[in-house]
Every structure is written in structure tokens, then in C-alpha cells.
Amino acid sequence: MDKANYGFLPDDDLSDSQIYVTTQTYNRYAKEYAERWEWNQRTIQEIKKYNIKPFTKQVKKNGKVLLVSCQSGRDYFLLSQMGYSCLGVGFAYGLLTEAIKRVPNGLFVRLKLKSLPFMPESFDAVYADALTDVPKKDIKVLLRDFRIFLKPAGVLYLSLLLGKANVMMMNDLGGKRYMTLYRKTEILEIVKSADFDILWSETSLNTDPSLPKWFSLVAKKK
């Protein structure tokens, strides 16, 4: 990717205004995002290797899965095709509209991630891929919420972007997007502090190799 289309900021964390701008970009350019970053065959093959395969090894077939920040429905589609009962939640109306177009029988709900309304022990697994739109100050509380929603020994899949900075800006779709970056040790510490045992983890290239790598993990509720 042309370096003019992304950059690393000195900010300590995502701001409310950056989250708002990101949401508006997804609303306006959902189709372009879906085609470029989610539904192309190269990305799907990588997702099957680094997301779906390690996740489904730990989650019983026909299990109830909450997909947090489900984007345009790609992973919802893949998991539902394998027999899982899925519920997708997201914050951007445009992406959810795109998800409904691409997965017509899917169940998608627009919710703020800071106030998810689910009952305790109501899911076998939480699947949170590319959770880049949550400020660092909120991530621990969100993971603790995930733990509450999970049944005993429930499974969490989580992937986050790696980087030395805390915030990255991208301007590849026609509008700006802002994303949180983490250090690997930071992610492991956060997950363990939320009372999860890490079962598997892996670092993988971004769809565009010039961009920061992903760090993915599967963990179990203690």
C-alpha cells in the first residue's frame, strides 16, 4: 500500500472523534471495504487458516457463537456454513447492511460494543476478529464482558493488530479509519488478566503485507 494512505499517530489511544470518523467511513464505503479487505479469495484462505480452523478445533459443532464486530459478515458466513448458530453484532450501519446483502439469512444486530446486553453464560464461544475499533482503555472491560457471556469453559477467539505505536490511520477507501495497535506481550497480559487460559496463538501477515501483522489467539474461560 502507498505510504500516503496510512500512517502511525503519536496518540496514546483512540479518541471518540476518531471512532466516529471510522464509523462514517465504514457506513459510506462498506461495499468497497468488503470487496477489498474481506471477501477476496486470498483473504478468505488466510482467514480459514488463522481464524476459522483454530477456533473450530476448540468449539463444539452446532455451538452458539457471538461474533463481535462482525463487519460485512464473511466469518459469520463461514461459521454458519459449518453448522454453528451465529449472532453477529457490529457498530457500523453500512457494514451490517452489507452483511445482510451477502448473508441473507444471517442474524445481525447493531450495538455499541461498550454496552452489549447479553445474559450470563449464553454463548459457547465469542469470536472477535480484527477488534481494532475499541480504545485500549475499554478492552479489558470488554473482555470481562465476553467472559460473563460465555458458558463454563467457553472459548474466545481474538485478533488484534501489532505495532510499536498505539494508533494507526488508514485512508484507502475514500475516508479515514483509525485503528488500535498493541504489543504482543500487552495482548497476552490483557487476556490473562480477564481470566482466560490461552490455548493457541499465532502471528500472521496482513492482507497487504506492508501493513502491521495480526496477532490471533484462542483462549478458554477459566
Q: What is the DSSP string of 62-123?
A: T-EEEEES-TTSHHHHHHHHTT-EEEEEES-HHHHHHHHHHSTT--EEE--GGG--PPTT-E
The grid coordinates listed for 75 are 466469518
What pLDDT, on a 0 to 100 scale, did the predictor assign at position 87? 99
Q: Copy the grid coordinates of residue 113.
A: 460494543
The answer to whether 122 and 57 are in contact (CB under 8 A) is no
The pLDDT of residue 222 is above 80 = yes
* Burial bucket for residue 30 (CB in 10 Å: 0-12, 13-18, 19+): buried
Neighbours of 42 (CB within 10 A): 8
Which residues span the domain enclosing 137? 3-221
- Residue 194 pLDDT greater than 80, yes or no: yes
The answer to whether residue 180 scores a pLDDT higher than 90 is yes
Residue 91 reports pLDDT greater than 90: yes
Start-to-end CA span in the chain (Å) = 41
pLDDT band at 98 (very low <50, low <70, confident <90, very high): very high
pLDDT score of 44: 96
Q: How many CA atoms lie within 13 A of 39 on its CB side?
A: 19
Q: How far apart are CA 124 and CA 154, in angstroms?
A: 5
Euclidean distance between CA atoms 12 and 127, whole angstroms: 26
pLDDT for 204 beyond 80: yes
Instruction: Report the DSSP beta bridge partners of residue 66.
Output: 87, 126
Return the percentage of the chain with pLDDT > 70, whole number: 100
Predicted local distance difference test score (pLDDT) of residue 1: 74
pLDDT in tens, 47-77: 999 999 999 999 999 999 999 999 999 999 9
What does the block give as the cell for 97? 447492511
Q: Distance between CA atoms of 1 and 206, rounded to whole angstroms?
A: 11
- What confidence category does residue 15 fall into, taking pLDDT thresholds of 50, 70 and 90? very high
Question: In 3D, which of 185, 215, 222, 190 has the Cα closest to residue 200?
Answer: 215
The reported pLDDT for the residue numbered 3 is 73
Q: Which three cell numbers stand for residue 117?
A: 446486553
User: What CATH number does residue 180 fall under?
Assistant: 3.40.50.150
Using one digit for the tens of pLDDT, what is the confidence trace for 125-165? 999 999 999 999 999 999 999 999 999 999 999 999 999 99
pLDDT for res 2 = 75
> What is the count of structural domains for the chain?
1
